Amino acid sequence: MHMRAVSSVQDNDRFGAAACLGFGREVGHMLPVNAIQHLPAGELLFSEGDKADSVFEVLSGMVRLYKLLPDGRRQVTGFLTAGQLLGLAPEGACVFTADTVTEVSLVRYKRDAFDRLIDDVPGFARRLLAVTSHELHAAQDQMLLLGRKSASEKVASFLLMLPARLNVIDVPMTRGDIADYLGLTVETVSRTLTRLRQDGLIALPVPTRVQVLDRKGLENLASGDLGDLF
């Protein structure tokens, strides 16, 4: 069995809380598929504590994962895009909430069928393991960001982890989502973006679109190389 699809893990798992398998063509037909679902924006997929009996694969759109504190404080742990998996948890209950940022289409697999595949298909388990390990590393990067980076370093890091076409980044999530992903407030995210614009690192034609004007500068900022210039 060949390992073709594995390399794409590096490129797709930008947000650290999900997985890109690329298994669709190879094993997808072996899985009982409930149905392809189409959901509007702002739709709940499942809540923290729900019984975890499904594995989802995102086909298009963006899904948001988060955890809440009793008083409503929210930490977004990841954003999922096409190709990423959701609900791999072998434990009985979901440990986070998932809802849609944009319109989303996704496939739901039966969890027990998925589990059977792990034992039956050689190499499948190892690939899943590679995926979760990779997510774990992304999670550690996020811990470094949350625990030790300044607001501008966080925002710069965030922009660079979004996929860019010709240096133009699509930002479908709200400032509130970004804030809750970076451990900041809406106002600080907004102010920081304004600051990056004033400093010539980015342009903001509309709030949902960022143009990277100085990628090197952003990268230095994101990696904390600039000491305290910002």
Helices within 64-205 (DSSP H only): 111-120, 124-148, 151-161, 175-182, 186-198
What angle do helix axes 151-161 and 124-148 make, rounded to 10 degrees?
A: 150
Does residue 5 touch DNA according to CB under 7 A? no
Contact between residue 57 and residue 22 where contact means Cβ atoms under 8 Å apart: no
- The residue among 187 and 225 lying less far from its own copies, judged by its C-beta, is 225
Per the structure block, which two tokens stand in for 119?
């034992």
CB count within 10 Å of CB 7 equals: 9
- The residue among 35 and 206 lying less far from DNA, judged by its C-beta, is 206
Would you give the binding string for its own copies spanning residues 43-82, x where CB under 8 A is met?
------------------------x-xxx-xxx-x-----
- The residue among 40 and 123 lying less far from its own copies, judged by its C-beta, is 123
- The alpha carbon of residue 201 and the mean position of all alpha carbons in its chain are separated, in whole angstroms, by 24
SS3 195: helix
Judged by CB under 7 A, which of 6, 175, 211, 214 binds DNA?
175
- The residue among 148 and 209 lying less far from its own copies, judged by its C-beta, is 148
Instruction: Tell me the window of 15-23, 76-84, 96-104, 181-189 that interacts with DNA (CB under 7 A).
Output: 181-189
Does residue 4 touch its own copies according to CB under 8 A? no
Contact between residue 186 and residue 176 where contact means Cβ atoms under 8 Å apart: yes
Contact between residue 78 and residue 17 where contact means Cβ atoms under 8 Å apart: yes
Judged by CB under 8 A, which of 132, 174, 190, 211 binds its own copies?
132
Residues that bind DNA (CB under 7 A): 150-152, 174-176, 183-191, 193-194, 204, 206-208, 228
